[in-house]
Amino acid sequence: MAHNNPNPENPEVFLDIKLTEPKETAAGFPAVISAVKHVFSEMGPIRGTNALLKVNQKDGFDCPGCAWPDPDDERSPIAEYCENGAKAIAEEATTKALWAKFFEENSVAQLANLNDYEIGKKGRVAQPMYLAKDATNYKPISWENAFALIAEKLNNLPTPNDAIFYTSGRTSNEAAFLYQLFVREFGTNNLPDCSNMCHESSGVALNESVGIGKGSVKLEDFYEAEVIIILGQNPGTNHPRMLSALQKAKANGCTIISINPLKETGLMGFNNPQKLNGVLGIKSQLTDIYLQVKINGDLALLKAIEQLLWVEEQKNPGSVFDLDFIQNHTHGFEQLKNAFHQHNLNELSEACGISIDDIIKTTDAIKHKKKIIACWAMGLTQHKNAVDTIKEVVNILLLKGSIGKPGAGTCPVRGHSNVQGDRTMGIYEKPSKAFIDKLNSVFKINAPYEHGYDVVDAIKAMHNEPGKVFIAMGGNFLSATPDTKYTAEALNKCSLTVQISTKLNRSHLITGQEALILPTFGRSDKDVNADGEVQIVSCENSMGVVQLSKGSLKPVSNQLLSETVIVSKLAQATFGNKTQTPWQLYQQHYNHVRDAIEKTIAGFENYNMRVREPGGFYLPNGSREGKFNTFTGKANFNVGQLTFNKLADDELLMMTIRTHDQFNTTIYGLDDRYRGIYNERRVILMNETNITKLGFKAGDVVDLYNYHDGVERVAHKFMIVAYNIPEQCCATYFPETNVLVPINSVADKSNTPTSKYVVLKLKKHVE
Ligand SMILES: Nc1nc2c(c(=O)[nH]1)N[C@H]1C(S)=C(S)[C@@H](COP(=O)(O)OP(=O)(O)OC[C@H]3O[C@@H](n4cnc5c(=O)[nH]c(N)nc54)[C@H](O)[C@@H]3O)O[C@H]1N2
Ligand SMILES: Nc1nc2c(c(=O)[nH]1)N[C@H]1C(S)=C(S)[C@@H](COP(=O)(O)OP(=O)(O)OC[C@H]3O[C@@H](n4cnc5c(=O)[nH]c(N)nc54)[C@H](O)[C@@H]3O)O[C@H]1N2
Ligand SMILES: [Mo]
């Protein structure tokens, strides 16, 4: 029995890697070709075309890709999706189904030897499967027995806090609400979610500075903005539909500033594949000022920009800062002002790797502008000082009065398509007292107030206290989390691990003593209740719009249950007649779930009616209206503490990033087309000078080491690729290098693993 192979490092030989120059323009016709290729190969032409016609239409399903909003006004009738959205749909709506026979023929140990790409390509799990203690293969199990088994394990735990309930961000509002209700009625707040590894730092920073953990801008604001700053985000790959918004902004005269260690293709130029010009290859240039910052150099850079803005402001008071706004709506300006000259400009320029000239150019571009939007993603959130860095971004917006008015504000660009909605529904290990009070009064339950585990604490708890029950609503916990070996040991120590999943993934293969896979619908699947009525669910996008999602494709198996039904049945099995919550009703029609949400969570008045309005509805958002619900009652400036990163000569700083051919741990293909790297994922992108200095050459194969906390972590066999990246910085692909991300290296306050800040040493690989 060997279900503990966390990371097969067995590329016996490297594939035939192919390198070209990085592309200078994103999308265009190659994107259309790539989309169609993926869709047709997984789904065939008829099912594929049907899916593409329904995605992101007002009566269709929400794209299971990213959380970028749909345009309120002009949606393309045939193509409101992008290349990577199409790939996400193809992966989910594949016709490959894994029945009991597949699991009989393939042992867990055999499957664990495949890489993530190969595992993902196997297809959708078609029926509930059970792995008994010491068994080598999964066996089929009935839904009823699966629920009974989980219920028995849960009810026999010494305390409800010995159970851990993870959520990934594709789960609908309806399923997420019921899931947290079930978990809290059961008696714990152990609700870690993918947010803990993603935008948690944004949530913490924004809550403290502007009183709400969500962004303030709407899509229309992009069309009015004078300046858009994009930090630590690769929209060409991860939010391709954002490029259309940037293109429109640009046409309206906006200046775009990109801050990124890599010259990402999508930030440089765009051929809109939904417009004739784009298909013909007529390119729009996007970024005006490209700042190739060192990894984690952002805080220093932002401080330098603030310092220069202050210098300009003093020349002519009121010409740069919005003094009225600062006076009436903010707190802490005096402290910030005193800190403007804490560091000298040379020192800051050195720390971020951007020349003083370029910092001046940037300051000039924004000093007289009043409508600024700042967008950011994982390049800012996954660092030790992430919360301070994001607050520094907010400082600049506040100095300029650039929030709470059209064309300006905060835009943390979310990841999973409903990650924001899941939080709104209460998927949070640190619920407020008010939320629990409300839940207790609406449902007459005894939900606990004591905070639960987030992702990192959950892993440590599983590691330190064997015998826990771990349940995952979606996601791929083993591969997405840091310190893969440590996490694998943690999962192995659980008495039971349960994965509610669409596709086969590595978390099905690295398990507790016993394990279950419960197969469920994806977004595109048609979900019909016992009365033959098609059920809809709803999601909240990155800009706080709640919209319906209605699946339309025939599910790959007749044995799948929806997430909503799975949670309700699990609750019935666990509580028996001890519950007063109408779990049966929720299974009959999801309107009842939405009624329950409406009673519990503000902003969902007339939910059932408004969700059916074309385009959905906006949730309330104080910062959007210039109302800052913070502890001071105003928007708060923050003086971030800058520490200077010192590396030894033989050390590199690694960021783990996504290729153009993956969705998180789901690997669509082996190419990173925009970066010009084909047919290989085990690469390390390094600056040419460092390659030479360390005594290597491009093409060499190296092992990567990290020694945080005195523990040796190693990832074997990565090929060196010379790339345009600042010195002593390097990049590898997530999740292959998660094994190197130390469990104890986390962001202050948000506890997010520092996946973009891993100190490495390299050694030549010897066979
Ligand atoms: N197709 C596709 N779409 C996706 C996903 C996917 O995997 N595939 N994932 C979804 C999810 S869950 C999320 S959270 C988002 C992720 O979207 P992104 O955050 O765009 O994803 P990453 O690949 O992690 O890219 C981080 C970017 O930050 C830069 N960066 C790294 N370190 C630093 C730094 O210190 N400073 C600065 N300024 N930049 C830095 C990297 O060069 C890279 O361009 O995308 C979502 N959408
Ligand atoms: N090193 C490193 N680690 C990272 C990151 C990084 O940048 N670097 N990024 C982090 C980020 S931003 C995130 S969000 C996390 C992602 O962490 P997760 O959300 O846990 O991982 P995913 O790869 O998105 O999960 C994919 C699996 O979800 C299941 N699935 C897909 N759709 C559905 C559905 O509709 N319902 C259900 N029940 N299951 C479904 C499928 O079985 C699929 O295999 O990873 C984090 N980990
Ligand atoms: Mo994410």
In a domain, 53, yes or no: no
The contacts of residue 95 (CB under 8 Å, 6+ apart) are 42, 43, 44, 47, 123, 556
Is the Cβ atom of 742 under 6 angstroms away from ligand 2?
no
Q: Which residues of 665-696 are buried (b: 16+ CB within 10 A; e: fewer)?
A: bbbbbbbbbbbbbbebbbbbbbbeebbeebeb
Question: Do 537 and 491 share a structural domain?
Answer: yes
Q: Which of 544, 538, 541 is nearest to 622 (CA)?
A: 544
List, as ranges, residues with CB under 5 A of the ion ligand 3: 198, 415
Cα distances (Å, whole numbers) of residue 289 to 229, 255, 364, 399: 9, 8, 11, 21
Q: Cα separation of 204 and 207, whole Å?
A: 5
Atom of ligand 2 nearest to the CA of 169: 19
Q: Enter the pTM of the model.
A: 0.96
Report which residue type is found at 261: P
Atom of ligand 1 nearest to the CA of 262: 42
Share of the chain above pLDDT 90, in %: 85
Is the Cβ atom of 296 under 6 angstroms away from ligand 1?
yes
Are 154 and 574 in contact, with CB atoms under 8 Å apart?
A: yes
Neighbour tally for 649: CB within 10 Å: 8
Question: Do 204 and 302 share a structural domain?
Answer: yes
Are 543 and 218 in contact, with CB atoms under 8 Å apart?
A: yes
- Residue 4 has what pLDDT? 46
Q: How many domains does the chain have?
A: 3
Atom of ligand 1 nearest to the CA of 381: 19
- CA–centroid distance, 364 to ligand 2, in Å, is 40
- Residue 39 has what pLDDT? 85
- CA–centroid distance, 197 to ligand 3, in Å, is 7
In a domain, 494, yes or no: yes
Mean pLDDT of 734-738: 96
Question: Do 501 and 456 share a structural domain?
Answer: yes
β-strand 469-473 against 409-412: which pairing, if any? Answer: unpaired
Has residue 616 got a pLDDT over 50? Answer: yes
Q: What CATH number did the domain enclosing 118 receive? A: 3.40.50.740
Burial label for 700, CB within 10 Å (0-12, 13-18, 19+), is middle
In a domain, 44, yes or no: no
Is the Cβ atom of 537 under 6 angstroms away from ligand 2?
no
- Residue 51 has what pLDDT? 81
Reported as a single tens digit per residue, the pLDDT across 506-534 is 999 999 999 999 999 999 999 999 999 99
**Residue 545 belongs to what domain range?**
96-195+433-601
Has residue 376 got a pLDDT over 50? Answer: yes
Are 654 and 731 in contact, with CB atoms under 8 Å apart?
A: yes
Question: Do 327 and 209 share a structural domain?
Answer: yes
Task: Return the CA Rg of the chain.
Answer: 25
Is the Cβ atom of 740 under 6 angstroms away from ligand 2?
no
Residue of 66, 98, 115, 170 to test ligand 2 pocket, by largest number of atoms within 8 Å of CB: 170
Report which residue type is found at 115: N
Residue of 7, 92, 168, 730 to test ligand 2 pocket, by largest number of atoms within 8 Å of CB: 168
CB pairs under 8 A, 24+ apart, for 271-274? 271/25, 271/26, 271/27, 271/28, 271/29, 272/27, 272/243, 272/244, 272/247, 273/27, 273/28, 273/29, 273/31, 273/32, 273/79, 273/82, 273/83, 274/76, 274/79, 274/244
Question: Do 383 and 310 share a structural domain?
Answer: yes
In a domain, 78, yes or no: no
Has residue 761 got a pLDDT over 60? Answer: yes
Question: Do 457 and 470 share a structural domain?
Answer: yes
- Residue 59 has what pLDDT? 78
Task: Write down how long the chain is.
Answer: 767
Q: What CATH number did the domain enclosing 328 receive? A: 3.40.228.10
Reported as a single tens digit per residue, the pLDDT across 259-295 is 999 999 999 998 887 777 766 777 789 999 999 999 9
In a domain, 265, yes or no: yes
Reported as a single tens digit per residue, the pLDDT across 551-575 is 999 999 999 999 999 999 999 999 9
Reported as a single tens digit per residue, the pLDDT across 427-481 is 999 999 999 999 999 999 999 999 999 999 999 999 999 999 999 999 999 999 9
> What is the residue with the minimal CA distance to atom 39 of ligand 1?
232
Q: What CATH number did the domain enclosing 697 receive? A: 2.40.40.20
Reported as a single tens digit per residue, the pLDDT across 118-149 is 999 999 999 999 999 999 999 999 999 999 99
- Residue 16 has what pLDDT? 84
In a domain, 123, yes or no: yes
Confidence bin at 97 (pLDDT 50/70/90): very high
Question: Do 350 and 229 share a structural domain?
Answer: yes
- CA–centroid distance, 195 to ligand 3, in Å, is 6
In a domain, 724, yes or no: yes
Question: Do 522 and 450 share a structural domain?
Answer: yes
Is the Cβ atom of 754 under 6 angstroms away from ligand 1?
no
Confidence bin at 1 (pLDDT 50/70/90): very low
In a domain, 378, yes or no: yes
Is the Cβ atom of 415 under 6 angstroms away from ligand 1?
yes
Reported as a single tens digit per residue, the pLDDT across 82-96 is 888 888 888 888 999
Q: Cα separation of 519 and 420, whole Å?
A: 24
- Residue 32 has what pLDDT? 79
- CA–centroid distance, 666 to ligand 2, in Å, is 8
Has residue 2 got a pLDDT over 50? Answer: no
